[in-house]
Amino acid sequence: MLYGGGVPLADLAARFGTPLYAYSADMIAARYREVDQAFSGYPHTLHYALKANSTLAIARLVRGLGAAADANSGGEIEVALRAGFTPEEIVFTGVGKSEAELARAIELGVRSINAESEGEIERIDRIASARETRARVAVRVNPDIDARSHPHISTGRKNNKFGVAIEDAREMCLRMRDRQGLRIVGLHSHVGSQITHLEPLQHAAEALATLACELRRAGILIEHLDIGGGLGIPYEGQPVPSASEYAAAVLPFVQQTGLALVLEPGRYLVGQAGVLDVARYRSFIAMELNVSVEDVHALLLGGHGDDMVPLKRYTSVGGIPVTQLMKPDRLEEIVKRARNGGAEIVGLLKTGSAYYAPAAATVAMAESIIRDKRRILPCAAYCDKEYGIGGYFVGVPCILGTNGVERIVEIELDGDEKKMFQTSVDHVKELVKAVKL
């Protein structure tokens, strides 16, 4: 029997019905405490990056653990407020902030608006001055550091659009310090995501600390250094830094300033708490045949939702191919229902989000990793050459063990499956392209 947080999932299914969607709170809490403990010897605040998963239940969970919030949009500010975070516990980050979003953040009095450019700071000054208040601003600095991550999620080089060039930041702060609507309270840096080497994070912390000392000598006294997030997780079984190693790398530089430290962990807390939603497909088949879901074995490829590719040829019930137990048209209806499950959930909820991690699948993945079971489960994994894909995360069968994704399992696809899978991959590529713009 599978357990989630010490609770038999069969009992939850009996109580709430199936398909049942839940979260592994224990795993998220353990990751949070790992980071918090690593920095326990120095004044710090963990602002959970809501962009990693802004589901209200998870936001409330991390708040209960002691976290503050990092909001990347006006919508995420509202999620943070609904979850119980106070404005003073919110930092507002992100490029392309609208006038309305800035006005809302200023009126609330968030801990800081992490400003990306001199133009944005001028807009903040204008909006705040019109309201006869002073906005708390942290200047995002671009330290021209290679995150050694995927180029699509690296944000700390000169050719990236994020932040003020570090060589320009000091003079800009001097120009802005006497503005009526501004109070410069911090420096911020985020050099990329899914970082698996400590050197970029270490160099970024050193650059921020050096700039903070220069500002102090110039008479600008800030309150905190925000070193962002970006710490990676083992998608491909590669070694990744632990939270304690991360702290040991950056704290020596931060300690020299005596300033409070802000961190923005997101992926590191929740990135290993979910898998591609094969549980939905399995549950529908089990209900149709009136059998235990434990006897249903299935594989999916591609993206989540409309683009998922359930592999009917590799689906079995008690070792019997599902094609021998169910008529083709009925099986196709179940496939369509699995793809459209997110819309079905939203329809049932009337409001909210369809981004749920299935309880059975989440716990199965966690157990396989923690106990090194090396199970084959469908996961969103980084494909280099597998399935003919280069440089994208897509849903594929993976062996999960102590190192996360130990190996991607490649299986033979027929013509229709290849076509559907390519469509799904193309949509992933379109999404990546849109995010880069």
pLDDT digit string, tens, across residues 112-121: 999 999 999 9
What confidence tier does 423 reach under pLDDT thresholds 50, 70, 90?
confident
Phi, psi dihedrals of residue 348, rounded to the nearest 5°: -75, -40
Task: Compute the distance between CA of residue 317 and CA of residue 296 in angstroms, rounded to an integer.
Answer: 4
Any idea what DSSP says for residue 323? G
Decide: 27 and 389 in contact? Cβ < 8 Å: no
In whole angstroms, give the CA distance from residue 68 to residue 266. Answer: 12
At residue 137, the pLDDT reads 96
Class of domain 25-270: alpha beta
What would the mean pLDDT of 395-407 be, rounded to a whole number? 85
Is the CB of residue 253 less than 8 Å from the CB of residue 209? yes
Pair of tokens at residue 309: 């590719």
Distance (Å, whole) CA 360 – CA 275 = 10
Does the pLDDT of residue 25 top 60, yes or no?
Answer: yes
pLDDT at 355 over 60: no
Min mean pLDDT across 51-60, 199-208, 276-285, 358-367 is at: 358-367
- Beta strand 3-4 with 7-8 is antiparallel
Determine the Cα–Cα distance for residues 426 and 293; give it in Å rounded to an integer: 32
Query: 102-116, 165-179, 231-245, 356-370 — which is least confidently predicted?
Result: 356-370
Worst-scoring range by mean pLDDT, 92-96, 123-127, 226-230? 226-230
Residues 6+ apart with CB under 8 A from 348: none
- Provide the 3-class DSSP secondary structure of residue 425: helix
Token representation of residue 292: 């235990």
pTM recorded for the entire structure = 0.63
431 band by pLDDT with thresholds 50, 70 and 90? low
How far is 197 from 242, CA to CA, in rounded Å? Answer: 10
Can you give the pLDDT at residue 314? 82
As a whole number of angstroms, the distance between CA 135 and CA 27 comes to 37
In 363-425, DSSP assigns E strands to 375-383, 392-401, 404-408
C-beta separation of 166 from 142 below 8 A: yes
Active site residue 304: yes
pLDDT tens digits, one per residue of 46-90: 999 999 888 888 899 999 999 999 999 999 999 999 999 999 999
Helix (H, G, I), strand (E, B) or coil at 181: coil
86 vs 389, residue with greater confidence: 86
Residue 238: φ, ψ to 5°:
-75, 150
Return d(Cα 306, Cα 336) in angstroms, integer: 8
Residue-range domain boundaries for the chain: 25-270, 278-436
From CA 418, how far away is CA 247, in angstroms rounded? 45
CATH topology of domain 278-436: L-2-Hydroxyisocaproate Dehydrogenase; Chain A, domain 2 (3.90.110)
Give the Cβ contact number of residue 353 at 10 Å.
15
Catalytic residue among 44, 47, 188, 304: 304
